[in-house]
Amino acid sequence: MSSLWLLMLLMLLVAVVFVFLATGKQRRYQKRQDENQRWYEQRLSELEEERSQHGLPEEDYQHAKQELDKTFLNDSQDVEESVNWQRAPVIVPVILLVAISSGLYWAFGSWQLQLQAEDAREQLPELGKKLLQQQSQQASREDLNTFALGLRQKLMREPDDAVAWWIYAGLMVDLGAGEEADKAFQKALELEPDRVNTLVSYSRFLLMSGVEGGQPKAARMLAHALQQEPDNIEALSLLGFVAFERQDWEQAINAWQLLKQRLPENSNRYQAVVNALENAKTQQEKSEVELKVTVKLSDGMRRYLPADGTIFVYVTGSEQPMPAAVIRQSVGEFPVTVTLSNNNAMLPDYKLSDLDEWLVHARISQDEKIDRQEGDLEAETVAIQADGSTELTLTLSTRIDE
């Protein structure tokens, strides 16, 4: 009701100001007209005095009077036009606009927001209990927003409450406000850098959000958390995940081995950890595969051997021409023996261990290009199953002639 009365008062103020402006315009118009009338009467009296006392001819008198009448008429018209089209001072509408905007904002903006914030702060304990009794995913968005608003009011009064900042960060994650969540997590850690729950929650947020540099930062925080609590289940689980994503199979296996020992065997999580552990071991075995290749040069090709040539030994997939591993070196004495492994990959996500079948190539290029071109010497490509460490011999017996 008070907002309605305020709006009516503001509308009345607008009406009063416009009436004032209109009245002022009328007064200015009347004043100019009166001044013009006095000037006309004074000039006409002077002409009559010239005619009666100084003998001004009648013809000259009538001509002067006609000019005076014309001037009076033109001046009256100019006065009317100047007053009708005169713009009000700029400061008046500006002040009026500011006053109206401020009033409306106070009535319908800040006033209502402040009431909502105070109400949210009062509901904070009750909402906190309610949200603790149910998963945040099951809580209504309205309850989460109200709880977040109440927490913001609390943090404005108590900015050094690390636990409140941690809870607020979690709420921002649930509400999809990633940037606010990140700031709140950082604030919580500034206040309590050794708090394990904050370290683990912030790490999970970084890993799930996929922010740049999130993985190494999460790994550091998880290591710090495990220094405080070596048996922390969440920290061990996340550390294993980080190591697996970074293809650090040994660290992933160690983390998940420890986690497996701390979980009850009849839990669903236990079986998930067993599966992840087996996967990490399989990936570790595959990452350790090696292919030892010995390259020979046939007697018929020795005369074509370029003095400054480059020998390439590489492996491709049956459906992918891009080399999964490659070794290049200057031509020297034959035979040449090289060992290919994941360390010789050209791309971080395409390695020997990613292939089920290897196509093994050997070529001598006249320059430093791996592309097949006229004059190069090559061996027949050999296909083998990628089933562990293997040894193979290739013979350079063909000269490319295009």
Distance, in Å, from the CA atom of 182 to the CA atom of 306, rounded to the nearest integer, reads 60
Span 119-158, pLDDT tens digits: 544 554 555 555 555 554 556 677 677 777 777 878 888 8
Determine the pLDDT at residue 353: 84
- The residue among 309, 291, 287, 229 whose CA lies nearest residue 262 is 229
Q: Are 386 and 328 in the same domain?
A: yes
Ranges of residues in the chain whose predicted pLDDT is under 50: 1-5, 19, 22, 79, 83-88, 90, 104, 106-117, 120-121, 124, 136
Across the strands, what pairs with 69?
A: none
In this structure, which amino acid lies at residue 49? E
pLDDT of residue 126: 56
Asked whether residue 266 is assigned to any structural domain, the reply reads yes
Same domain, 241 and 320: no
Is residue 331, in this structure, part of any structural domain at all?
A: yes
Residue 223 has a pLDDT of 93
Q: Is residue 10 part of a domain?
A: yes
Residues 262 and 351 in one domain: no
Range of the domain at 169: 140-286
Asked if 332 and 356 sit in the same domain, the reply is yes
Cα–Cα distance between 124 and 58 in angstroms, integer? 100
pLDDT for position 4? 45
Looking at the domain assignment, is residue 361 inside a domain? yes
Number of structural domains the chain divides into:
3
What CATH number is given to the structural domain containing 173? 1.25.40.10
Q: CA of 2: how far to CAs of 21, 98, 284, in Å?
A: 29, 20, 72
**Do 301 and 254 share a structural domain?**
no
* pTM of the full structure: 0.57
Regarding whether 278 and 300 lie in a shared domain, the answer is no
Domain finish residue from 286, 321, 345: 286
CB 147 within 8 A of CB 171: yes
Distance CA 256, CA 324 (A): 29
Tell me: do 280 and 300 sit in the same domain: no
- Asked if residue 102 is part of any domain, the answer here is no
- 115 found inside a domain: no
Q: Which of 286, 319, 338 is the last residue of a domain?
A: 286
With respect to residue 178, please indicate whether it lies within any of the assigned structural domains: yes
Q: Domain for residue 351, yes or no? A: yes
Query: 305 and 366: one domain?
Result: yes
From residue 99, alpha-carbon distances to 2, 7, 9, 95, 244 in Å are 17, 12, 12, 6, 62
315 and 346 in a common domain: yes
Same domain, yes or no: 269 and 302:
no
Residue 90's SS3 state is coil
Q: Which of 20, 54, 88 is the last residue of a domain?
A: 88
**Confidence at residue 310, expressed as pLDDT on a 0 to 100 scale:** 92
Task: Determine the pLDDT at residue 108.
Answer: 47
Q: pLDDT digit string (tens) for 195-224? A: 999 999 999 999 988 888 899 999 999 999
Residues 281 and 298 in one domain: no
Token output for 62: 């009538």
- Residue 303 is part of a domain; what is its CATH number? 2.60.40
Is the Cβ–Cβ distance between 396 and 348 less than 8 Å?
Answer: no
Residues 151 and 252 in one domain: yes
pLDDT at 120: 45
Q: Tell me how far apart the alpha carbons of residues 165 and 181 are, in angstroms, rounded to a whole number.
A: 9
DSSP tag of 86: P
User: What are the C-alpha distances in Å from 296 to residues 169, 290, 301, 335, 339?
Assistant: 64, 20, 10, 5, 15
